Amino acid sequence: MASDGCSECGYNFEWNRTKLVARCDGFPVVLKNMLAADADCVRRRPAAEVWAPIEYAAHVGEAVGWYAGRIRRVLDEDHPQLESFDFDAAAEKGEYLHRSVSEVVADVRTAYREVADIARTVSGNQSCLGQQAG
């Protein structure tokens, strides 16, 4: 994890577009290798309230895809009303624990590709606002 970024996810707000796109392009490969490294542990929860690695990976794909959709709306609409999302309910409904590694990696790749595509099109001086609904 990068020491100059977020302590939880490693994101660095100082990254330029090129670095962001490179990270988006490279992360699915890193994730695939991580999940394949220990196939026995990928579905094992270390504690009842702690997700297994496959669940965290599936959550990342769904969350990044959801945020990409929000970003698109902010860029494409005039002051969109943005709905909240219950990630815990989505995790239960999406049955993250039972998804295949290849399905999860494909979902992550799609979500990160969407973020990279957005980053490639946003200009440095673009300013858009969205508002949380409710």
Q: How confident is the model at residue 1 (pLDDT cuts 50, 70, 90)?
A: very low
- Parallel, antiparallel or unpaired: strands 81-82 and 131-132: parallel
Task: Give the global pTM.
Answer: 0.79
Distances (CA, A) of 62 to 40, 67, 117: 23, 9, 17
Structural domains of the chain sorted by starting position, each given as residue range(s) with its CATH number in brackets:
17-132 (1.20.120.450)
Q: What's the one-letter identity of residue 64?
A: V
Mean of pLDDT values over 2-12: 64
Q: Residue 81 carries which DSSP code?
A: E
Instruction: Please write the tens of the pLDDT for every residue from 47-100.
Output: 988 889 999 999 999 999 999 999 999 888 888 888 888 888 887 787 888 899
119 Ramachandran zone, left/alpha/beta (phi>0; psi -120 to 50): alpha
Exposure string for 42-66, b = 16+ CB within 10 A, e = fewer: beeeeeeeebbbbbebbbbbbebbe
Candidate from 36-40, 61-65, 77-81, 104-108 with smallest mean pLDDT: 36-40
